[in-house]
Amino acid sequence: MVLRKAFVGILAVLLLLPAVGWGQLQEPSWSLKGEAGSFAPAGWSHDEVPALTRVQAVRMQLEVNTLVDERFDPVKGKNAASKFYAFGEDMLEADALIISSGSVLLEDLAAAADLPLRVIEENNPHLLRDVLPKGASIYGLGIALTAMDALAMVERQESYTANLKTQYEKRRKQVLSFMPDPTTHSASTYVVRSGDYLGRISSRTGASVSDIRKWNKLKGNTIYPGQKLTVWMPKGKEVQPEKVAVAPKKEEKKELATKSTADGSFLTYEVKPGDTLWSIAQKFPGVSADNLKSYNKMDELIKAGEQLKIPTQMITDYSPEKYPGAQ
């Protein structure tokens, strides 16, 4: 602790340079170009000086990483571009606060300077996150920090980061606890098809219905065609093909019964497992799923064994030969 206090005097540095005013740093001859962190030209650009690429910026000893892109630094970025292209304009200087002991949260600096955080972020476009990295410059605060104040801010940021890591690790372990051992199981994506339900998917994959719900955060049994579900299966195991007995087309049509009413003749169709209104309509040219819903006065929910009426006058290729038993 004694050693820590002995070195506290070098923890914060306020660079008071022969400075231009803050307004002059934002003179209209300079403008911001490109996207921070990109390899394409980005940063401050002048009427006579283009923005630097990432490679050029590194050659000019600017920092470009996930926390800061000094091509956008209103002093360093402009000076680096001017020097790289041998632009004759005088080098800029400005009051810059640099914390040499570690990173600090921008919101702590905003509170110390009694400035809105939004203003600080707008004045320092080179800062890409909510922190001022160790050794980076920040402008426009108008304050000087004592070494003790700087140390307190650094410790708060370290505590904040540690809490985030703890929460992340807790959440990661919670997520992993839902899943099988990745050394014996692998995750696959199952795309829900028309007529699927969780029980059917369970029988095809070997995963329990409760696990499928848990892995995909499903609160009930509702799924829909096209939905992508994550299913963990033993390594080497594949989704089993669905065992569905498909009757020959002619035999299927022989199962149709034709009746007549005062409104005309109609066929009766018995719904089979896996049928949907759309798939049934495809069996009868000219008939749509909406026709079936309207004629049978029902919604889209159907179940196996249910009898549907299909008016013969709606079937464009209807004939007694194609549909045996029709009158």
Phi-psi region of 149 (alpha: psi -120 to 50; beta: other; left: phi over 0): alpha
Task: Calculate what percentage of the chain has a pLDDT beyond 70.
Answer: 80
Domain spans of the chain, in order of start: 2-160, 185-234, 249-314
Do residues 25 and 94 touch, judged by C-beta distance below 8 A? yes
Q: By C-alpha distance, which of 279, 214, 283 is closest to 252? A: 283
| Per-residue pLDDT at 153 exceeds 70 | yes
Place of tokens 């956008």: 72
Q: What angle do CA 272, 275, 280 make, to 5 degrees?
A: 105
| Per-residue pLDDT at 215 exceeds 90 | no
CATH number of 185-234: 3.10.350.10
- Average pLDDT of the chain, as a whole number: 80
pLDDT at 169: 79
Per-residue pLDDT averaged across 146-165, rounded? 89
Least confident of 1-5, 20-24, 131-135, 210-214: 1-5
For 269-318, the pLDDT digits (tens) are: 888 888 888 888 888 888 888 888 888 888 778 888 888 888 888 887 77
- State the pLDDT confidence band at 253, using cuts at 50, 70 and 90: very low
Place of tokens 């995963």: 207
Task: Calculate what percentage of the chain has a pLDDT beyond 90.
Answer: 34
Residue 117 to residue 72: CA distance in whole angstroms: 18
Residue 128 to residue 118: CA distance in whole angstroms: 13
Residue 133 to residue 67: CA distance in whole angstroms: 7
Domain 249-314 has CATH 3.40.50.1820: no
Beta bridge partners of 265: 260
Residue 38 to residue 43: CA distance in whole angstroms: 10
Q: How far is CA 26 from CA 9, 29, 44, 292, in A?
A: 33, 8, 10, 69
Q: Tell me if domain 185-234 and domain 249-314 are identical in fold.
A: yes
Per-residue pLDDT averaged across 93-105, rounded? 91
Q: What is the DSSP string of 212-256?
A: HHHHTT-SSS---TT-EEEEEEETT--PPPP------HHHHHHT-
**DSSP-derived secondary structure letter, 21:** -
Do residues 223 and 193 touch, judged by C-beta distance below 8 A? no
**DSSP-derived secondary structure letter, 49:** S
Q: What angle do CA 138, 144, 148 make, to 5 degrees?
A: 105
